[in-house]
Amino acid sequence: MVDFYNIYKHQGAMYQAMIEAEDFQQNLVRALRAKIPNNSRNLLDLGSGTGRLPRILQHDFDSIIGLDLHRNMLLQQQADPNLNILQADMRILPVSDSSFDVVSAGWAIGHLCGWYPQDWHEHISKVLDEMQRTCKPGGLLMIMETMSTGALQPAPPTPWLAELYDCFVANWGFTQKVISTDYLFPSVMQAKALTGFFFGEQMLEKIDQYQWQQLPEWTGIWWKRNTA
């Protein structure tokens, strides 16, 4: 099993090299811009990692803060003078109430299912409560999570993520959309070199089998207005 926690703690540069090839058709930024209200001025991005969302949305806001638990990931953002970073746990945000027009969490909340298999509902509820607390009334809450990489059709890659995604809609009132965010690499060899550490041996076998230079990926987007 891939140790994502260790990757995020120690392999920020490798992770950034991989995601630079992601969503080459720019479907994600178009989908997000269609949801973000025109009067939104600031964004808080939780589990921001190396800055996937801040990088693509930095011209859409006056101010963006990328927050992550792992300094190694944030160092990749720090190299860009236009990005602001904050090291913290997304379950306990060092941020005042009603501070942001948009609060996002991209490819971060779902990991709590794997790291806390016995009580992930409690941990994720804390994150969602903090998102609501720090977002302005009427502001936008957005969540992005994987709907599979290396699959020809979108689907939650694990049973616990399927349960989580159902909870986003049924329990927490989010609306869902699924988009394609395929990777495009210069070659099949590069696809294997840049993805194996994160997706594991089975992905390398599939890339070889299908000779995938364009690696299929699906991303779920969940959003709602903050009514807290």
Asked whether residue 215 carries a pLDDT value surpassing 90, the answer given is: yes
3-state secondary structure of 141: strand
Give per-residue pLDDT as tens, 165-192: 999 999 999 999 999 999 999 999 999 9
pLDDT band at 79 (very low <50, low <70, confident <90, very high): confident
pLDDT for 65 equals 96
Q: How far apart are CA 93 and CA 82, in angstroms?
A: 22
Give the pLDDT band of residue 227 (cuts 50, 70, 90): confident
Domain 4-180+218-225: give its CATH superfamily: Vaccinia Virus protein VP39 (3.40.50.150)
Name the pairing type of β-strands 217-225 and 135-149: antiparallel
Q: How confident is the model at residue 82 (pLDDT cuts 50, 70, 90)?
A: confident
Contacts of 73 (CB under 8 A, 6+ apart): 8, 12, 15, 48, 49, 50
For residues 117 and 138, what is the distance between their CA atoms, to the nearest angstrom? 33
CA gap 109, 111 in Å, rounded: 5
pLDDT at 175 (0 to 100): 98
Q: What average pLDDT does range 114-139 have in this prediction?
A: 96
- Cα separation, 15 vs 197, in Å, equals 9
Per-residue pLDDT, averaged over 201-228, amounts to: 96
Of the listed ranges 1-5, 27-31, 217-221, the one predicted with least confidence:
1-5
**Nearest one of 63, 26, 24, 70 to 42, comparing CA atoms:** 63
Give me the amino acid identity at 35.
K
pLDDT at 108 over 80: yes
| CA distance linking residue 191 with residue 204, whole number of Å | 9
pLDDT in the model for residue 185: 98
Strand partners of residue 223: 142, 175
138-161 pLDDT, tens digit per residue, is 999 999 999 999 999 999 999 999
Rounded mean pLDDT of 35-53?
Answer: 96
Interval 41-66 mean pLDDT: 95
Confidence band of 199 (pLDDT split at 50, 70, 90)? very high
pLDDT tens, residue by residue, 15-35: 999 999 999 999 999 999 999
Residue 86 gets which letter from DSSP?
E
